[in-house]
Amino acid sequence: MISTAWLWFWDTWNETTGNYPDLSTFLSLLALVALSCYVFLIKKPSKDKAPLPPGPRGLPIVGNLPFLDPELHSYFAKLAEKYGPVIKVRLGSKLCIVFSSPAVAKEVLKDYDATFADRDQSAMGLALSYGGVDLGVAPYGDHWRMLRKLCVKELINHTRLTALYDLRRREARRMINRIYTKIGSPLSLNEEILLTTFNFITNMMWGGTLEKEEMSRLTTEFRLVVHEMIDLMGKPNISDYFPALAPFDLQGLEPKMKKNVIWFEKIFQQVIDRRREMESQGEGQEKEGKDFLQILLQLIEQGDQKTPFTLTHLKALFLDLILAGTKTTATAVEWAVSELIKQPVLMKKAKQELDEVVGMNNIVEESHLPKLQYIEAVMKEVLRLHPPGTLLLPRTPKESCIIGGYMIPKGAMVFVNVWAIQRNPEYWVDPLEFRPERFLNSTWDLNGSDLRYFPFGSGRRMCAGVPLAERQTSYLLASLLHSFDWELPEGEKLDLTEAFGMEMTKKIPLVAIPTPRLFEPRLYT
């Protein structure tokens, strides 16, 4: 087992740097971390303190890295079966604590929410977030609260989302029309949805500031850029396991991430410059209300000595919203269609409901969603079985505390294994089976109120975009199933293998062939 794990570790280095580490590099790595590990090994806990959680012993210096499974959520779940719902795992010089039951998750995310409100900042997370100033990674405090309030008050609230329905509808219809031109041909469903959500999110933030031709070019490039960013976030990184080595970026991942961030930054700067030019020429003043870009630019101009908001903050926030609002939705809908293709009986139930509620001479509207209870149940079951953030974004306690009877040291990297909790047979009947029926006539919601089911997290750092995600996923899934039948290319087998990373994706993307279900061509325009 150890030799296999080391091969994974070595191959990851080779994949990201182009060569294997030489002996001098590896010895330098060991020398730099030896002192901190020595201090840890000789340090004895005080008798009057709670013990650290149980966990595998590991090796000096490298800890459990040689034994690590690339599928971290699954690896941690197996350790929890052996050691209990609170475990410690040392990865290099980093102490990781993993919580895997509703009871201890409640302590972390609710009872001690303020203590665990800070993020453990990874090297790629810092590169992605302009040094940690975005909504996802920023330390808990006045700045973070300002960003969260901006998003909720000005962008992701019921009134605003309802007002933006025409925009969502337009992009959904464009997607259906685009797929209609490809009937009978295999296509990547994830890519189609990704382009749809990108167009919607960017229009929601800055409207028609860019020319149509420019947006078309950016949409094509966006898919490649976002895939690489997600891939980089999911790669094992020496800088995270040995923070003392982070300044050296031994795997050369930081320049790759910054290259993609710069791609987005150029778009944002172009949008800002164009908007300022339009305003100086008096264009766009006839529009009712302000879009999100106008609100943020005014905030920059007004200034605030206590919680300043700069162009860097604006760009970091825009990048947050684009990544969170596109890839997560595309992946969730892809999982839903895949699971339904696997079980034709369930697919038939979903389409029967759509035919009864929407009809065959109409198109899906968001107003239909409250009556599409089976579609809602399908999406909730997808988020149970394949939560987007299997371990949530890692947190770190600002002070030592006791959770589940164990001492959780200040500065530890803390994970909550949502994936394991939502598949635990103690809380779910036949947890590995895809059964949307379990959510029919139930009170389960996505608000993180019940720590047996919280795919978007819970507490003050839970995902702010849940209201948008809930609308988008159900609306797009309903539109795709109502408009088309879906089948695999001849000779292809459906693969539901998961791939761990920044979010839970399909290891092999779904490629399917659409066939029109509706009789009138006008329903595809």
DSSP single-letter state for residue 430: S
Write the pLDDT tens digit of every residue in 31-55: 554 444 444 444 444 545 899 999 9
For residue 176, CA distances in Å to 169, 271, 364, 510, 523 come to 11, 28, 11, 17, 9
Token duo for residue 489: 């290319």
**95 pairs with which residues across the strands?**
90
Task: Give a yes or no: residue 37 inside a domain.
Answer: no
Is it the case that residue 238 has pLDDT exceeding 60? yes
Could you give the percent of the chain with pLDDT greater than 70?
A: 88
- Cα distance between residue 366 and residue 372, in whole Å: 10
**212 pairs with which residues across the strands?**
none
Token duo for residue 278: 């339009």
Task: Give a yes or no: residue 357 inside a domain.
Answer: yes
- CATH number of the domain where residue 67 is located: 1.10.630.10
Task: Give a yes or no: residue 32 inside a domain.
Answer: no
* pLDDT of res. 440: 96
Task: Give a yes or no: residue 226 inside a domain.
Answer: yes
Provide the domain count of the chain: 1
- Cα distance between residue 508 and residue 522, in whole Å: 34
Is it the case that residue 23 has pLDDT exceeding 70? no
The SS3 call for residue 447 is coil
Task: Give a yes or no: residue 5 inside a domain.
Answer: no
pTM of the model: 0.89
DSSP single-letter state for residue 367: G
463: annotated binding-site residue? yes
- Cα distance between residue 494 and residue 479, in whole Å: 22
* pLDDT of res. 278: 86
User: H or E stretch including 469?
Assistant: helix 466-483
Task: Give a yes or no: residue 436 inside a domain.
Answer: yes
DSSP codes, 233-272: HHS--HHHH-GGGGGG-TT-HHHHHHHHHHHHHHHHHHHH
Q: How many residues comprise the chain?
A: 525
Contact present, 124 and 261 (Cβ < 8 Å):
no
Give 16's pLDDT tier (boundaries 50, 70, 90): low
Question: CB-based contacts of 513: which residues, under 8 Å, 6+ apart?
Answer: 184, 185, 186, 187, 486, 487, 488, 489
For residue 26, CA distances in Å to 3, 238, 316 come to 17, 11, 35
Contact present, 98 and 87 (Cβ < 8 Å):
yes
- Cα distance between residue 428 and residue 355, in whole Å: 31
Task: Give a yes or no: residue 8 inside a domain.
Answer: no
User: For residue 76, which of 355, 516, 493, 420 has the smallest C-alpha distance?
Assistant: 420
Question: CB-based contacts of 161: which residues, under 8 Å, 6+ apart?
Answer: 467, 468, 471
- Cα distance between residue 35 and residue 461, in whole Å: 35
Is it the case that residue 281 has pLDDT exceeding 70? yes
Task: Give a yes or no: residue 16 inside a domain.
Answer: no
Token duo for residue 111: 């009872």
Token duo for residue 213: 């031709």
Is it the case that residue 213 has pLDDT exceeding 90? no
Boundaries of domain holding 135: 44-524
